[in-house]
Amino acid sequence: MKFIIKNGTIVNPVKKQHEVGDVVFENGKIISVGGTADVLDAEMYDATGCFVTPGLIDMHVHLREPGQTNKEDIHTGTQAAAAGGITHVATMANTTPVIDSATILQSVQKKIMDTAVVKVSVIGAISKGLQGQQLSGMGGLAGAGVVAFSDDGHYVESADFMRRAMEYSDMLGKMIIDHAEDMTMCQQGFMNEGTMSYQMGVTGRPAAGEALAVARDIILSDLTGCHLHVAHVSSGKAVELIREAKKKGSRVTTEVTAQHLFFTDEYLKEYDTRFKMAPPIRTEADRQALIEGVLDGTIDAIVTDHAPHTNDEKDVPFCCAPNGIAGLETSLASVLTGLYHTGKLSIDRIVELMSVNPARLIEVEGGVLEEGMAADITVINPSVEWDVYGADLYTKTLFTPFEGMKLKGKAVLTVVDGNIVMKEGKVLR
């Protein structure tokens, strides 16, 4: 049946559209974008006062399946994505077992087909078991459909091994997504190294460890020609290095998480494990450098690094808690609250960072509203205010750094292949 999203402000940067109009889809495909559509014999959603955008894409999540389904699974994780207005996610390889062969990948893809609420792409491991010693089955993984390679959660310590991985990845036409923290400097740390960590008496992870790793891997990217994508950049120095590399023509891109744009290490002063992540949230100066990187185009995408843990795992003394938070249901709202409503970012730029560019980087359909394309659409109400409570979220964990906070702006409709998967906060699958 025909469905019309009516009277919304269409934000479609690829087509340079920012205008009030209607979006019509039928049989899973968009049939018109803009103008006024006839509502006869059609279902209708009134999007007055809302933005209608290409479906949001999160290119860095951890759905935890296989093997860690006590933390999250493909169904609950993609329910959380739908609740957050996200129509497509790319999940990382650090599962149990690691997604380091075509056989394991195919079993994950089968589970995705059976249980996912939104579209899911898979990122394959660089090394077997994420050990950084033997290459994964990269050829088989690429042939079976991974969109990139990453040992996320682990830094590839050997420069020679990373060089070989980049050479193979480039031959296969895939990028390397780099968890850039030199663990000889960072492994024993629990938060950003700085004034706050000294006051708290907690061993820190220095920003220099990230900068060293980024610098090394930019050099290796230049040597091999491989597209290097720096995951979850967190420090001003790393942004500076990436900015300069881009100016020189290096094949390097990067992303930032919504939480690194919103919080600083001041939030950890009560030893609150809700804010414990890797790389850590850093100083206000670093946060401002990240925002500047978003504004000037150095940073290509905003992601969640959605990495939930069980409540028992997080509800422990600070230094014992694992790194990682749930972010799929709060990322858009936090960006709207912290950057859109403060006048720092336009909605068009937010759509570029959270839809257009991720689609381009992982080379999937999306990022644009266009006749004949899949009806993957997000409707955003920028004015609605809501209080965040972990118990109300679809993710399995109760722990969110936004607990008890009021955010302004929220996805109110999520459409995947023409199917309404979330409406007014309720996930329908």
Is 170 annotated to bind a ligand? Reply is no
Distance of CA 274 to CAs 113, 216, 218, 388, Å? 32, 31, 32, 13
**Can you say how many angstroms the Cα of residue 155 is from the centroid of all Cα atoms in its chain?**
19
277 Cβ contact list (under 8 Å, min separation 6): 259, 305, 307, 323, 324, 325
In whole angstroms, give the CA distance from residue 319 to residue 332: 29
DSSP of 191-252: EE-SHHHHHHT--EE-HHHHHHHHHHHHHHHHHH-PPEEE-S---HHHHHHHHHHHHTT--E
Is 18 annotated to bind a ligand? Reply is no
Is 229 annotated to bind a ligand? Reply is no
Residue 59 · residue 358 · CB < 8 Å: yes
Count CB atoms within 10 A of the CB of residue 146: 26
58, 100, 265, 305: the catalytic one is 305
Is 64 annotated to bind a ligand? Reply is yes
Q: Is 182 a catalytic residue?
A: no
408 Cβ contact list (under 8 Å, min separation 6): 333, 336, 337, 341, 382, 383, 384, 385
In whole angstroms, give the CA distance from residue 319 to residue 403: 20
Is 63 annotated to bind a ligand? Reply is yes
Is 179 annotated to bind a ligand? Reply is yes
Q: Is 388 helix (H, G, I), strand (E, B) or coil?
A: coil
Is 305 annotated to bind a ligand? Reply is yes
Is 62 annotated to bind a ligand? Reply is yes
In whole angstroms, give the CA distance from residue 69 to residue 65: 6
**Can you say how many angstroms the Cα of residue 321 is from the centroid of all Cα atoms in its chain?**
22
Is 309 annotated to bind a ligand? Reply is yes
Is 232 annotated to bind a ligand? Reply is yes
Burial annotation 147-157 (CB, 10 A radius, 16+ → b, else e): bbbbbbbbbbe
Residues marked active site are found at 305
Annotated binding site for Zn(2+): 60, 62, 152, 179, 232, 305
Annotated binding site for substrate: 62-64, 94, 309
Annotated binding site: 60, 62-64, 94, 152, 179, 232, 305, 309
